[in-house]
Amino acid sequence: MPEQERLRFCVLTPRAAAVDRPVDGARVPTETGQVGLRPRCEPLLLAVEAGLVVLRDA
């Protein structure tokens, strides 16, 4: 998938960026359930819960 069609996935901590890379999709746990993220969606800031974060690369 071309770089401009990928999702920029960032995980920020108080000290630094733990993850900052392009992915094809992601699934993250939130207090209201799992949220799926895909390219070309509106920018989103989430407070995630502890759990498994799944990143998808083609």
Contact assessment for residue 28 and residue 10, using Cβ atoms and an 8 Å cutoff: no
What structural domains does the chain harbor? 3-56 (2.60.15.10)
Contact assessment for residue 34 and residue 28, using Cβ atoms and an 8 Å cutoff: yes
Cα of first residue to Cα of last residue in the chain, in angstroms, is: 7
Could you report the per-residue pLDDT of 3-55, keeping only the tens digit for each?
Answer: 668 999 988 889 999 999 999 999 999 988 999 999 988 888 888 899 999 99
